[in-house]
Structure 1
C-alpha cells in the first residue's frame, strides 16, 4: 500500500527512517534517533550533544504574530531547549535560512539580532550556516552542546514509583497563541503580556536542567514542546513504564486562568495539551524531590511541581481530572502531519 505521510504520522515515519538508517554501531555513538538530541562520545568524561530543528512559516509561525527579533529568539530557543532536555550546555550553532527573494534585508538583520542576543546570553557561538531562496521563510538551526557523561539524562530511565515533575508553569504559550488568533478577547494587559511573551520568546531552561542533572537523582527528562500529554508518551515508551498525571496539580499561571475562562476551556486542559512551553518534564526519586526543588528554586527562581507518578507499564497512561475521575491519557498536543 502506498501510504502518505499524513496516513502514518510523524513518529511512525521516524520509525520507518530509523529502520532504513539502522542502529548506530560505532563505539562513539551513544544515542542516535529517538531522543531530544543525538549523543556522541567526546572523551572519557564528556558527551557531545547534536540537535536540529526547523521553524517553517505558516506552520510554526506567522510573521504578523511576532517581530523578526522575537522570531530569531524563538528559532534558536527551541534548539537550546533540546540541549537542556539532556542536562547539557549549548556550545555552537549553524543556521540554515530559506527566504523569499523579496524579503527585506532589514528583516533578516533583525532576525539574526534576536538570535544572537539569545545566543550570547546562553554562551553559544553562531559559527556558520547556509542560505537559499524559497517561497516561504524557513529557519533551520543545528546546535551542538556538551554534557558530563555522569550527568547525561535521556528519555529512558524512569522507574515505577518515581515522581513526575515539571519546571515553571504550563499552558501559557497556548494561551498566547489564543490571544494572537483572537485579538479581541477582553483580557487585561497584565494577563495578556506574559502569555504573549511565553509564546513569542520562550525561555529554554538551561540552568535548571544542569541543576537537575547534577543532583544525581533524576532518572529521565525531556522538554515540553508538543504538549505534555503528547511528550510524556515518549518518555513512557522509551522507559517502558506507565504514568498517572494529576490534572489538579498542573502548575497554572495567574495570567492563564482568565484567558481560559474567556475561551470556555479549563485551564488544566491548556496546561495538559498546549504545546511550546519548553518547560522540562522529568522524573525524580521521591526522597529527592524536596532537595532538588529547593536547589533549583533558590538558584534560578523557577519552581518545580510534582504532577504525577510513574507506574508499571501494564497500568497504562492515565490522567486524574480535577473532579477525581481517572481516564486514559490521550495525546492531544501538536501533530506535524
Structure 2
C-alpha cells in the first residue's frame, strides 16, 4: 500500500498513534493547533502548515506578495480557530536555484505585511535548496497564546447547539475555478478572461489567492466563554469535511439547513456564469479560512452582535447539532432531509 491509498487523515492517525503529551492539560493531534501547558495564565498554541508551488499556488495566478500573505494567513487561521493571539512565526523556505530574487523579495514582502497586520513577529527559520526539483515550498511554524480555560476546541459541541459560520464560504473555490477551468471565452495569459462582472471575478480570485484569517473574530468567540461558544475550527478542507471533523471530535450529529448557507452576490454571479450550483462550492470547496463554530441555543444573538459590532463580519446560523446516532444530515428547502456526505480535500489523493 502506498500513501495515496491510505489518504491524508488515515496517514495522520497512523503516524501519531501512541504519541503522548508532557501534561494532562495538553491538547495534541486533532485540533487546529496543539495546546501546550507551560504554566501561568496563558496556554501556548503551536501550528505549522506548508504551501507548495503547483499544489497551493502558481506564479501565473498569484503575485509573489499574495503568495507570502497566504502562506502566513493559513497558519494565522489555525490560531484564530482556537481563539488565540498569534505571536511568533518561523519561516522555512525550500527554493529552486533558478528562482528570481525579485520573486523571493515579493514573497517576503507579503509575509512581512501579513505579520504586521496581525502583530506577529517573524523570529527565524531556515533556507534549503530543493535539488533538481523546480518547486518553491514555504513551511511556517506559528506560535500563539490563549487564556487558560478559553481555548476553542473541536470537542465541545453538544446536541441542541447552533452551528454557525462567519463570512461567505465557497468563494475561494469559485476563484480557483476561474483560474483552472476558464469559460469558453478565449483566454489571455496569465488570467483567463471571462464574460462576467470583472469586480466579482477579481473578488473571488483574491479570496483564493489572499484569504483573510478571522483572528479577531476567533478572539471574540473565545472571550465570550465556553458556556456560550462550545466548539470551533476553521474551514480549510471544505465546510462538509471540516464539519465532519467537528462532529467526530464532539461525538455529535448535525442537521445542516441548505437554505441558510450564506450565498454572496459574487459567488452567485460566478456560479451562474459557470452553470454551477453555488452550494457545491460552499459545502465542498476549500481554503475559505472562515470559522465554523457552535454556540449554546440562547447565545446566538450575543455572539452575532459582538462579532458584527467589533469586526463587521457577518455570522450565519446554518444548522443544529444533534445526537451522534442521527449522523450528518442536510435539510433541503422542500423539507426533506438526506445524509450529508463529506467531501474533504485530501492532499494525498488529488
TM-score, normalised with respect to structure 2:
0.93
Match of 1:60 among 50, 56, 70: 56
Q: Is the 8 A contact 1:55 1:61 kept in 2?
A: yes
Decide which of 13, 16, 28 is 1:15's aligned counterpart: 13
Equivalent residue number for residue 73 of structure 1: 69
Unmatched 5+ stretches in structure 1:
none
Deviation at 1:29, TM superposition (A): 5.6
Deviating 4+ runs (over 6 angstroms): none
Q: More deviation in 322-331 or 247-256?
A: 322-331
Q: Does 1:221 align with 2:232?
A: yes
Change (3 A) 1:230 1:131: same
**Matches of 1:8 and 1:318, distance apart in 2:** 26
Instruction: Give per-residue Cα distances to partners, 1:217-267, cap 9 Å, x unaligned.
Output: 111000000100100111110111111111111111110101111222111
**Residue in 1 that maps onto 2:305:** 294
Q: If each structure's helix is expressed as a fraction of its own residues, which one has the higher value?
A: 1
State the secondary structure of the residue aligned to 2:149.
helix
| Secondary structure, aligned partner of 1:65 | coil
Q: Which residue of 1 aligns with 2:197?
A: 188
The farther-off stretch of 43-52 and 280-289 is: 43-52
Give the whole-Å Cα distance in 2 for the aligned partners of 1:238 and 1:52: 21
Q: How far apart in 1 are the matches of 2:137 and 2:330?
A: 36
Asked whether the 8 Å contact 1:45–1:150 carries over to 2, the reply is: no
Which residue among 174, 189, 206 is the counterpart of 1:197?
Answer: 206
Two-structure CA RMSD over aligned residues (Å): 1.2
Q: Deviations over 1:129-181 (max 9, x none)?
A: 01111111100000000000121111101000000000011111011111112
Does residue 312 in structure 1 map to residue 323 in structure 2? yes
In structure 1, how many angstroms separate the alpha carbons of the residues matched to 2:216 and 2:19? 34
Specify the alignment match of 2:159 in structure 1. Answer: 160
SS of 1:335's equivalent in the other structure is coil
Question: Secondary structure of 1:214's match?
Answer: helix
Which residue of 30, 34, 51 corresponds with 1:38?
34
Alignment of 1:107-126 (within 5 A): 107-126=103-122
Moved more, 29-38 or 111-120: 29-38
Measured in 1, the distance between the counterparts of 2:117 and 2:273 equals: 36
Helix, strand or coil: the match of 1:287? coil
Contact 1:165–1:281 (CA under 8 A) maintained in structure 2: yes
The answer for the alignment partner of 1:206 in structure 2 is: 215
Cα deviation for residue 23 of structure 1 reads 2.8
Name stretches of at least 5 consecutive residues in structure 2 with no aligned partner: 183-191
